[in-house]
């Protein structure tokens, strides 16, 4: 997890700043903190992105962009992590969120075969409770985990650099 890895896949910040769908964020997109690749900004981006990925709302990427601005996290990474929630992962993510929420509220659960649009509106509270709880837990565990992994990687790089110097 190095800067080179993230830089290789990150879009140019000028491209995002000039994107027509993000123009409403205006001068907030010009903050340098949104584009830095350091341990704090990347770990915060993981927290924001993973939390927003578990929100059962449309346009989670907008929520992730706003969250990145508020928490001074890396914007492209925050927005990209929202794509963990996609049509292939909706059933496990939101099904698990619903099951957790229903269990915490003491409500009976039904099988996924019996789901209808009317049932979804009735079961809104357990879905939101489970989604917020899982998203918060993932966000709170990902931030220190990414910081730890970043630090371990830096220590390994320094050790390799020191070993190369002693070998010569």
- Reported as a single tens digit per residue, the pLDDT across 32-41 is 778 888 999 9
Question: What is the total count of domains within the chain?
Answer: 1
* Helices and strands, number each (H, E), in the chain: 8, 0
- Check pLDDT > 90 for residue 74: yes
How far apart are alpha carbons 116 and 91 in whole angstroms?
14
Q: From start to end of the chain, where are the E strands?
A: none
Residue 40, C-beta contacts closer than 8 angstroms, at least 6 positions apart: 147
pLDDT of residue 17: 64
For the whole model, what pTM was predicted? 0.79
* Helix 90-105, helix 124-167: angle, nearest 10: 120
- Best CA proximity match to 29, nearest among 75, 60, 71: 75
How far apart are alpha carbons 69 and 22 in whole angstroms?
12
CA 47 → CA 31, 69, 138, distances in Å? Answer: 19, 13, 7
72 Ramachandran zone, left/alpha/beta (phi>0; psi -120 to 50) = left
Lowest-confidence segment of 22-31, 53-62, 106-115, 154-163 by average pLDDT? 22-31
Locate tokens 């993230």: which residue? Answer: 6
How far apart are alpha carbons 135 and 157 in whole angstroms?
32
How far apart are alpha carbons 47 and 45 in whole angstroms?
5
The helix (H) or strand (E) run that includes residue 4 is helix 3-9
In the three-class reduction of DSSP (H, G, I as helix; E, B as strand; rest coil), residue 100 is classed as helix
Residue 3, C-beta contacts closer than 8 angstroms, at least 6 positions apart: 37
- Reported as a single tens digit per residue, the pLDDT across 90-136 is 989 998 998 999 999 998 877 666 767 777 777 788 999 999 999 99
How far apart are alpha carbons 28 and 69 in whole angstroms?
7
Highest mean pLDDT among 26-30, 52-56, 96-100, 102-106: 52-56
What range does the domain containing 125 cover? 3-167
Which band of pLDDT confidence, cut at 50, 70 and 90, is reported for residue 7?
Answer: low
Looking at every residue in the chain, the average pLDDT score rounds to 85
């Amino acid at each position: 997890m190095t800067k080179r890895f993230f830089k290789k896949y990150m879009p140019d910040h000028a491209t995002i700043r000039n994107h027509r769908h993000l123009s409403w964020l205006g001068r907030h997109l010009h903050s340098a903190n949104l584009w830095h690749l350091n341990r704090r900004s990347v770990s915060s981006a993981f927290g924001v992105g993973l939390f927003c990925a578990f929100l059962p709302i449309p346009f989670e990427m907008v929520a992730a962009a706003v969250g990145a601005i508020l928490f001074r996290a890396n914007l492209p990474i925050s927005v990209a992590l929202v794509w963990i929630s996609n049509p292939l992962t909706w059933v496990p993510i939101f099904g698990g969120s619903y099951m957790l929420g229903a269990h915490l509220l003491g409500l009976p659960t039904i099988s996924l075969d019996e789901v209808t649009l009317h049932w979804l509106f009735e079961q809104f509270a357990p879905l939101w409770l489970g989604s917020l709880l899982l998203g918060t837990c993932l966000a709170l565990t990902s931030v220190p985990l990414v910081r730890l992994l970043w630090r371990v990687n830096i220590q390994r790089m320094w050790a390799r650099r020191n070993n190369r110097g002693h070998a010569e």
